[in-house]
Amino acid sequence: MATHDIFMPALSSTMTEGKIVEWLKNPGDKVERGESVLVVESDKADMDVESFHDGFLASVLMPAGSSAPVGETIGLIVETADEIAAAQANAPSAPSQSVGEENKSSSTQIKEQKDTVDSSKTTVVNKEPISPSVLESSVNQPQFLNDGRVVASPRAKKLASQMGVDLATVRGSGPHGRIQAEDVQSAKGQPISVPWIAESNAPAKVVSDIPRIEKKPVDLDKPPAAGKSFGSRGETIAFNTLQQAVNRNMEESLNTPCFRVGYSILTDELDSFYKQVKPKGVTMTALLAKAVGLTLARHPQVNAAFTSEGIAYPSQINVAVAVAMEDGGLITPVLQNAEETSLSELSLQWADLVKRARNKQLEPQEYSSGTFTLSNLGMFGVDRFDAILPPGTGAILAVGASLPKVVASKDGSISIKKQMQVNLTADHRVIYGADGALFLKDLAYLIERNPYSLSS
């Protein structure tokens, strides 16, 4: 079945998300190549989004009035009328519905809105304070002050409109008093959640580091906070677009026959190498991505993926690294050609990717071109876990923390060494047990015996 995605277009190189003003076509309507299908608005600019294909609008994934990050799939086009039903069945249920129901059920909890919305207004989402869709529409609302000037970061403005904070009352801590997102949060009395990113530095971290990541002082009188949540007790929070995308991918992975294979890797050598290169700005993510990239170069089968035509061997080795987003969902920025890129270059690229991921400024190919995925929870002290295979790839490696272990060697002597458990999840249609095992054996050899080769 030929399904074509309609993406949220970038109206500007600095645009992160756009608001869908209007769908000019209804699901089921015929569309011609070049015909306008919907209108997207950002700031004071409208853009007609055209179909690149002849066919039918099968599904509207984001309703009018809602906002989506640039690059997000917002609708589906199929080539023949017969495919409409199938595409609709595969597509996630229209968010408009769930938002609408949510709106009714939790109406008592909805914070009062400054502007009363006429009940005749069709865009339900405008009444939904927690929906990301409100953001764009309210960004243009009164931030205009008596002195005529509010200087705030785009994210702060967005948060302020989300949380109903008047920016005029917020004291800015940024340069020249610019209001930052944190200022809005503290004005609202919310704990400041520093974006937590699953940045990989597993071997360097041990369990005792956790409070540093958590950033919240542990109050002994109260039960310790078990973690973050996106909503309050008793609430149901609609999935954001990123979460929806993750949900789709995770559900799709159920169609893949996966198996897991694990390995314990000694990391003392890697740690000492890391200590040497760290002052040069090299990150653990870069080290792991490079190690995986170099090992994949010798194990092309593990870099391959299932397609209906057969086993696809990508022309590049692109290591995607999973990053948790602070407002829900996760994204997998990609380090392209990891095997032939230098450690410092990989570190720079990674810092850039993470920064832009957090600002939702990644181009689709920067998070969707991975051929192998790395997922690291080591910084939380997790000793082992298994990961779900992202669709379109053959394998994902789950990396645990590097922890001191009592290790017996062949000659019977006992010593304490640092050990990191890794766990490969692979699509058995492409990668067999022996392929996975040999890949892990080589990866372990590289990390245990030869980490210095990573700098070549």
Partner 1 sequence: MDKKLHAVSPESGLNSNLDLTPQLAQFSSAFLFEPKNIVPFETALGWQKNFQKSLIAKPFSPQAVWLLEHFSCYTIGRGGDKNNLLFEENKSPVPVFRIERGGEVTHHMPGQIVGYLAFNLSLHKKDLYWYLRELEEVLIDVLDLLGIEGKRVDGLTGVWCADKKVGSIGIGCKRWITQHGFSLNVNCDLIGFEKIIPCGLDKVKLGKLSDWIPGIKVCDVKPLLRESVKRRFKLNWENI
Q: For binding to partner 1 (CB under 8 A), which residues are involved?
A: 11-15, 19, 21-22, 36, 39, 41-48, 50, 115-118, 121, 137, 139-144, 147-152, 154, 157, 194-197, 199, 201, 213, 278, 281, 283-284, 344, 347-349, 351-352, 354-356, 379
Nearest one of 378, 385, 454 to 206, comparing CA atoms = 378
76 in Cβ contact with 58 (< 8 Å):
yes
Question: From the CB of 423, what's the least distance to partner 1, in Å?
Answer: 22
Toward partner 1, which CB reaches closer, 344 or 368?
Answer: 344
> Sheet containing 55-60: which strands, arranged edge to edge?
3-7, 73-78, 55-60, 30-31
Q: Which residues of 247-260 are buried (b: 16+ CB within 10 A; e: fewer)?
A: ebbeeebeebebee
The Cα–Cα gap between 231 and 370 comes to 31
Question: From the CB of 300, what's the least distance to partner 1, in Å?
Answer: 28
Active site residue 176: no
The Cα–Cα gap between 242 and 256 comes to 22
Q: What's the helix, strand, coil split of the chain in %, to 5?
A: 35, 20, 40
Question: From the CB of 200, what's the least distance to partner 1, in Å?
Answer: 9
Question: From the CB of 323, what's the least distance to partner 1, in Å?
Answer: 11
Question: From the CB of 414, what's the least distance to partner 1, in Å?
Answer: 33
Nearest one of 366, 427, 422 to 393, comparing CA atoms = 427
Toward partner 1, which CB reaches closer, 45 or 86?
Answer: 45
Tokens for 354, please give them: 């993470």
Question: From the CB of 195, what's the least distance to partner 1, in Å?
Answer: 6
DSSP letters spanning 87-128 = HHHHSPPPHHHHHHHHHHHTGGGSPPPSSPPPTT-S-GGGG-
Toward partner 1, which CB reaches closer, 179 or 296?
Answer: 179
Q: Which of 4, 53, 176, 428 is catalytic?
A: 428
Question: From the CB of 453, what's the least distance to partner 1, in Å?
Answer: 22
Question: From the CB of 447, what's the least distance to partner 1, in Å?
Answer: 19
Instruction: State the pairing for strand pair 305-307/330-331.
Output: unpaired
Toward partner 1, which CB reaches closer, 44 or 111?
Answer: 44
Toward partner 1, which CB reaches closer, 377 or 444?
Answer: 377
Nearest one of 125, 119, 118, 169 to 143, comparing CA atoms = 169
Tokens for 40, please give them: 């997207």
Tokens for 28, please give them: 């089921």
Tokens for 449, please give them: 């015996």
Q: Which residues contact 347 (CB under 8 A, 6 or more apart)?
A: 281, 282, 283, 285, 286
The Cα–Cα gap between 404 and 425 comes to 25
Toward partner 1, which CB reaches closer, 57 or 426?
Answer: 57
Nearest one of 3, 16, 53, 43 to 363, comparing CA atoms = 16
Toward partner 1, which CB reaches closer, 43 or 82?
Answer: 43
Toward partner 1, which CB reaches closer, 91 or 374?
Answer: 374
Question: Could you give phi then psi for residue 230, rounded to 5 degrees?
Answer: -95, -10
Q: Which residues are catalytic?
A: 428
